[in-house]
Structure 1
Amino acid sequence: MSSTPGKFTVGDYLAERLAQVGIRHHFVVPGDYNLILLDKLQAHPDLKEIGCANELNCSMAAEGYARANGVSACVVTYSVGAISALNGTGSAYAENLPLILISGSPNTNDAGQFHLLHHTLGKLDYKYQLEMAEKVTCCAVAVNRAEEAPRLIDRAIRAAILSRKPCYIEIPTNLSGATCVRPGPSSAVTEPVISDQGALAAASDCAAEYLRGKLKPLILVGPKLSRCGADKALVKLAEAMGCAVAVQPAAKGMFPEDHPQFVGVFWGQVSTLAADAILNWADAIICAGCVFNDYSTVGWTAMPNIPLMKCDMDHVTFPGNHFSRVRLSEFLDHLSTEVQFNDSTMVEYKRLRPDPYVVHEAADDEDLTRKEIQRQLQPLVTPNTTLFIETGDSWFNGTQLNLPKGAGYEIEMQWGHIGWSVPASFGYAVRHPDRRTICVCGDGSFQVTAQEVSQMVRFNLPITILLINNRGYTIEVEIHDGSYNKIKNWNYALLMQAFNSTDGNGISFVANTAGELKEAIAAANNHKAGPALIECTIHQDDCSLDPGRLLGESKSNTGGGSRLAAGDGLNGLTKQDIVEKVYDGKGSLGGYAFCSLITGIRREPHAH
């Protein structure tokens, strides 16, 4: 679609390609090197411009949009804009999301004549931004001539879509309006690379050999599963096998939690009780899209201690064998026709699983607690809800929530940027404004990216923000305390008045008690014209409790699975006693235990 009758330009080419791959909104911060390009994108009838408060938030909003849409675009200016946006681009890389980072750049005539320009490092070499982008993208290109634009733009976009990683496209300000040919069909940049049939067959044979003679198979789901669209194939395989299915914390929601074969979140010492026990009991584990890092393995204490079948997005690895060019969805689908039914892990799980714990409902006048917030949050999680769980203590609380079919759950566990959830939930809600998006965020994280709430107001998005105000970087306090973890307290609820100005529809509340939170949530649920911010004030020591102290655990007995995970009683307690005594009420170890395992540091609570 040309913005000028009879003339098709580089900017038009980019706009058409973005629309062809399914992008309907592009996130922008204007600057003098990208203004002509923004005009071209804005003129495309299938693209809507979404302005952001700053480039960090812009990139994080695009990251959230990619979670909802499958691909996204972020448009910024040279240097002062793009370098800031590299942070959210890094998140997209770590989280396997195809984000297209687009930057304007200096006029090629200025660069060619060695003019010293503003918004630069004060050097005459203008390749430094491209070189930076190469480190956090799968493909980075700079258009230096209009006739090169189609080839370079297509190369970058295709690489991003196929690899599920971000790409970078740099377009000089004088070339955005330069004449260009029109693009061909979208299949040129979207057609997937199918599995090598020989490798697929060989991998399937190796899988059969891996499973032969195994009596206790189990499937462990990781966060890469949904990134490559293998969800349905995984369910098909699971039902063909009949075995237990656990998920990593970053993959919560990627296997239906109402499915009879779902056994919970495996997170080592932070697992639901039976999930840890059953995984350590298994003698064969099919890892589908898993990521084993220091977080997901609780400081390397929770690596499964048997040989694994590791199925990644485009390859499969067995003990002693590796097969490239094997797409995860095709492999799982093919494997489902080859496996034998074996539900032994499900039978054992049902024996180990403790009875449900009844959560105490706080009286209306009781001080608000983390536990009460979680209790009141649970009924909000419907099939039309998507949760954004911020980095920090919210991880542990979010893990305990039950997700009905259709509910979404987003977490940024690999990159772990505090403040991510605010702009990311905004970007997600832009694509799905009819869903109820709920952002659970700590006060320290909120201060990093708070400005994007104003964009939620601007676009009338019904996002509910549960802002947990415990006056500091609580997760950092648990890892290593110090004065640097103290932050200036804000009157968070009053910020909404500033963001509303004279025409906004955001609402806000302060909840100090259980009753006040109940009233605030009811009002937020009935509010559809804009965001609702609920400041939930809790004690600074109200973090996920350390049942390690209660149960007498230490780092030395974690090994390949704690005594608790193995089903043994501790200090004379039965499994059910433990479930009833631990703070979250579901037999899971919390934030203190996690952090002490990661760092080996334990601390005493703050004096009240």
Structure 2
Amino acid sequence: MKPATTTLGSYLATRLEQIGIRHYFAVPGDYNLVLLDQLLENENLEFIGCCNELNLGYACDGYARANGVAAGFVTFSVGGLSAINAIAGAYAEDLPIIFVSGGPNTNAGPENRPLHHTLGEVRYRYQLEMFREVTAYAASIEHLEDAPEKIDRAIHVALRHRKPVYLEIACNLAGLDLPAAPNQQLAAPVPLDEAALDAAVENAAERLNNAVKPVLVAGVKLRPWDATKEFLELAEATGYAVAVMPNAKGLFPENHPQYIGTYWGPVSSPGCGEVVESADAYLFAGPTFTDYTTAGYTALINSNKLLEAGPERVKLPGQSYNNVPLPLFLGKLAGRMKKNDTSLTAFERFRPAPEQEEDIVADRPLLTRRVVKRVEKMLTPDMALIAETGDSWFNGIKTKLPEGTAFEIQMQYGSIGWSVGATLGYALAERGKRRVVSLIGDGSFQLTAQEVSTIIRYGLDPIIFLINNRGYTIEVEIHDGPYNLIKNWDYAGLIDVFNAEDGKGWGVRVSTEGELDAAIAKALAHTGGPSLIELTIDRDDCSKELLEWGSRVAAVNGAPPKLG
């Protein structure tokens, strides 16, 4: 029997479908047009056209957060190099993205042909080499017979390591025939050393069970490594007080009786920092310890008391265990734990009294803290809250989430402008399941505003709170200068520009509490397009946590060089 054949582009499309991708993001260019033709043949994948390649990368980031994996397609050099910042961010944030660039004709190099969109020299490996630095796997497909192996390997690596991968497909190969893709498993489990797992569990259980006042802290890597369920099981098996790191918000239920808040060193939730830092043992599950997550390395974490469970390694004082998958470690440890609620009892002495809800004063000017309370009140379990880099981090993290509400933040990479594209990608992946609510500062919005038009184009209905304080507030608090001021825009009015003749977006500018309440009510009822609520906020109105955090990060940035 003659084996079934397909084109290279269709082979890739089948593979994307097999790993659960339903939408792919693309910006067309002449090096990828034939490839896009082949992708369009697959009726189970939907083309999503983006305004530019950077925004496409951010959309892939948001889609991967919600869907588990994403795919993006660009043209060579002018497209790929525009997107590389967003792909680097996805690498930092542990997000699997199959990122594909069209490449030069295979004859261009051997025949010494200078090409457009390039450096004007006959050397065409530079984009591949650049992407090797920000992906877990990068390959150029220049021979048809290599395509299935390289495509499958790229997907395997992306799923195995939770990182983006890069494929460059020569433009004259995309439509050529090759054997059809078999239905096979493309992801492999994390390597497991049973002896190391048992020893890590034994050692950790002994340390925690002998501690007087131990605590648990959730880290951001719980999600990409599928360990949130096991972390909850461990928490309930121990009875310990449970905190979350700032970039892990939403990974532990905030209405859970053991939840004590966000651990962020000196800018922690009230009472939370004191309980964590006074514990005689703490297990951090999936943490990242950076200048941002530790407020300029001022968090008081004692390495002699620290048990750190990473994606594939457990580090205990004086001992490290490799090839220990995080969910297996947490799940097995749960079965060895004794109940101890001492740290939770200690927190009860610090627990702040419930805040009294302030009355709405219709003509009172907006304050950031009051906006946060209104956003908090509107959230439901079928929503996702996305917080842009900046004061929106702090406002989002202070928001109390109903159980089931998702929360997204890009704290490791911290690229301003990320959230507009991420809102597009997340909203697409969750269409019909979750409604996206985004907190975005005006400075960040100006970097990537065009993608609101794509949100309108595809009929998505996120609610965007645009905080207009006329500058880069987070930079002001780290290091101020005239460069932190920006040109004001009519942000609400942009919606009419992007709507043109057929869009269903809605925008409004509000400056008082009464106007905000009315806008939220209208946004919740609005369908068929996004709602953008522009909030006029004083430039110096920011969270107190940002003030303290900013000064500590600035101190790290400004530390003089050490000689020798």
Contact kept? 2:93, 2:412, Cα under 8 Å: yes
Q: Residue 486 of structure 2 corresponds to which residue in structure 1?
A: 487
2:118 maps to a residue whose letter is T
Q: Residue 52 of structure 1 corresponds to which residue in structure 2?
A: 50
Return the alpha-carbon distance in structure 2 between the equivalents of residues 458 and 142 of structure 1: 33
Shift of 1:478: 1.2
Question: In terms of mean alpha carbon deviation, does 397-406 or 503-512 score higher?
Answer: 397-406
Query: Which residue among 395, 410, 414 is the counterpart of 1:416?
Result: 414
Contact kept? 1:361, 1:372, Cα under 8 Å: no
- Large movers: runs of 4+ above 6 Å: none
Return the alpha-carbon distance in structure 2 between the equivalents of residues 266 and 158 of structure 1: 35
Contact kept? 1:362, 1:372, Cα under 8 Å: no
CA deviation vs aligned residue, 1:228-255 (integer Å, no higher than 9, x gap)? 1101101111111110110000000001
2:335 maps to a residue whose letter is T
Query: Which residue among 134, 138, 143 is the counterpart of 1:140?
Result: 138
Return the alpha-carbon distance in structure 2 between the equivalents of residues 215 and 382 of structure 1: 38
Does residue 1:311 correspond to 2:309, yes or no? yes
2:33 maps to a residue whose letter is L
CA deviation vs aligned residue, 1:399-429 (integer Å, no higher than 9, x gap)? 1111111101000000001111111011000
1:286 maps to a residue whose letter is L
Q: Residue 89 of structure 2 corresponds to which residue in structure 1?
A: 91
Q: Residue 559 of structure 2 corresponds to which residue in structure 1?
A: none
1:203 maps to a residue whose letter is A
Does residue 1:592 correspond to 2:547, yes or no? yes
Query: Which residue among 202, 215, 219 is the counterpart of 1:218?
Result: 215
Contact kept? 2:75, 2:101, Cα under 8 Å: yes
Return the alpha-carbon distance in structure 2 between the equivalents of residues 393 and 280 of structure 1: 25
CA deviation vs aligned residue, 1:498-528 (integer Å, no higher than 9, x gap)? 1000000000000011111111111100001
Return the alpha-carbon distance in structure 1 between the equivalents of residues 538 and 299 of structure 2: 31
Shift of 1:208: 2.6
For the residue of structure 2 that corresponds to 1:56, the secondary structure is helix
User: How do 1:502-521 and structure 2 match up within 5 A?
Assistant: 502-521=501-520
2:193 maps to a residue whose letter is D
Change in CA separation of 1:122 and 1:195 when aligned onto 2, cut-off 3 Å: same
For the residue of structure 1 that corresponds to 2:439, the secondary structure is strand
Query: Which residue among 15, 24, 27 is the counterpart of 2:22?
Result: 24
2:402 maps to a residue whose letter is P
Does residue 1:452 correspond to 2:451, yes or no? yes
Return the alpha-carbon distance in structure 2 between the equivalents of residues 103 and 209 of structure 1: 51
Does residue 1:191 correspond to 2:146, yes or no? no
Does residue 1:233 correspond to 2:242, yes or no? no
Shift of 1:362: 4.0
Q: Residue 498 of structure 1 corresponds to which residue in structure 2?
A: 497
Q: Which runs of 5+ in 2 are unaligned?
A: 557-564
Q: Residue 260 of structure 1 corresponds to which residue in structure 2?
A: 257
Contact kept? 1:21, 1:190, Cα under 8 Å: no
Return the alpha-carbon distance in structure 2 between the equivalents of residues 506 and 181 of structure 1: 45
For the residue of structure 1 that corresponds to 2:266, the secondary structure is helix
Q: Residue 73 of structure 1 corresponds to which residue in structure 2?
A: 71
Return the alpha-carbon distance in structure 2 between the equivalents of residues 480 and 147 of structure 1: 54
Shift of 1:534: 0.6
Shift of 1:371: 1.7
User: How do 1:23-42 and structure 2 match up within 5 A?
Assistant: 23-42=21-40
User: How do 1:338-357 and structure 2 match up within 5 A?
Assistant: 338-357=336-355
Return the alpha-carbon distance in structure 2 between the equivalents of residues 194 and 117 of structure 1: 44
Q: Residue 328 of structure 2 corresponds to which residue in structure 1?
A: 330
Contact kept? 1:21, 1:186, Cα under 8 Å: no
Return the alpha-carbon distance in structure 2 between the equivalents of residues 591 and 327 of structure 1: 35
Return the alpha-carbon distance in structure 1 between the equivalents of residues 336 and 370 of structure 2: 47
Contact kept? 2:219, 2:247, Cα under 8 Å: yes
Return the alpha-carbon distance in structure 2 between the equivalents of residues 194 and 20 of structure 1: 23
Return the alpha-carbon distance in structure 1 between the equivalents of residues 536 and 57 of structure 2: 30
Contact kept? 2:209, 2:337, Cα under 8 Å: no
Q: Residue 562 of structure 2 corresponds to which residue in structure 1?
A: none
Contact kept? 1:257, 1:405, Cα under 8 Å: yes
Q: Residue 523 of structure 2 corresponds to which residue in structure 1?
A: 524
Contact kept? 2:508, 2:519, Cα under 8 Å: yes
Return the alpha-carbon distance in structure 1 between the equivalents of residues 4 and 395 of structure 2: 57
Contact kept? 2:505, 2:531, Cα under 8 Å: yes
Shift of 1:12: 1.2
For the residue of structure 1 that corresponds to 2:163, the secondary structure is coil
Q: Residue 154 of structure 2 corresponds to which residue in structure 1?
A: 156
1:236 maps to a residue whose letter is E
Query: TM-score if structure 1 supplies the norm length?
Result: 0.89
Q: Compute the RMSD of aligned alpha carbons.
A: 1.3
Contact kept? 2:4, 2:180, Cα under 8 Å: no
Question: In terms of mean alpha carbon deviation, does 362-371 or 144-153 score higher?
Answer: 362-371
Q: Which runs of 5+ in 1 are unaligned?
A: 546-589, 602-608
Contact kept? 2:26, 2:50, Cα under 8 Å: yes
Shift of 1:204: 1.4
Shift of 1:193: 3.1
Does residue 1:473 correspond to 2:428, yes or no? no
Shift of 1:191: 3.4
1:469 maps to a residue whose letter is N
CA deviation vs aligned residue, 1:475-510 (integer Å, no higher than 9, x gap)? 111111111111100011110111000000000000
2:170 maps to a residue whose letter is P
2:262 maps to a residue whose letter is V
Shift of 1:84: 1.1
For the residue of structure 1 that corresponds to 2:253, the secondary structure is coil
1:499 maps to a residue whose letter is F
Return the alpha-carbon distance in structure 1 between the equivalents of residues 446 and 501 of structure 2: 23
2:549 maps to a residue whose letter is F
For the residue of structure 2 that corresponds to 1:38, the secondary structure is helix
Contact kept? 1:443, 1:468, Cα under 8 Å: yes
Shift of 1:186: 3.3
1:312 maps to a residue whose letter is G
Question: In terms of mean alpha carbon deviation, does 85-94 or 200-209 score higher?
Answer: 200-209
Shift of 1:359: 4.1
| Number of residue pairs aligned between Structure 1 and Structure 2 | 552
Return the alpha-carbon distance in structure 2 between the equivalents of residues 352 and 386 of structure 1: 30
Return the alpha-carbon distance in structure 1 between the equivalents of residues 221 and 63 of structure 2: 17
Question: In terms of mean alpha carbon deviation, does 27-36 or 8-17 score higher?
Answer: 8-17
Return the alpha-carbon distance in structure 2 between the equivalents of residues 538 and 328 of structure 1: 43
CA deviation vs aligned residue, 1:297-332 (integer Å, no higher than 9, x gap)? 000000412431111111111122211111101111
2:273 maps to a residue whose letter is D
User: How do 1:292-303 and structure 2 match up within 5 A?
Assistant: 292-303=289-300
CA deviation vs aligned residue, 1:136-177 (integer Å, no higher than 9, x gap)? 001111111110011111111111101011100110001111
Contact kept? 1:286, 1:308, Cα under 8 Å: yes
Shift of 1:196: 2.0
1:288 maps to a residue whose letter is A
Contact kept? 2:5, 2:180, Cα under 8 Å: no
Q: Residue 396 of structure 2 corresponds to which residue in structure 1?
A: 398
Return the alpha-carbon distance in structure 1 between the equivalents of residues 76 and 184 of structure 2: 28
Does residue 1:248 correspond to 2:260, yes or no? no
Shift of 1:212: 4.6
Return the alpha-carbon distance in structure 2 between the equivalents of residues 212 and 460 of structure 1: 53
Return the alpha-carbon distance in structure 2 between the equivalents of residues 219 and 6 of structure 1: 54
For the residue of structure 2 that corresponds to 1:410, the secondary structure is strand
Return the alpha-carbon distance in structure 2 between the equivalents of residues 145 and 206 of structure 1: 51
1:431 maps to a residue whose letter is A
1:243 maps to a residue whose letter is Y
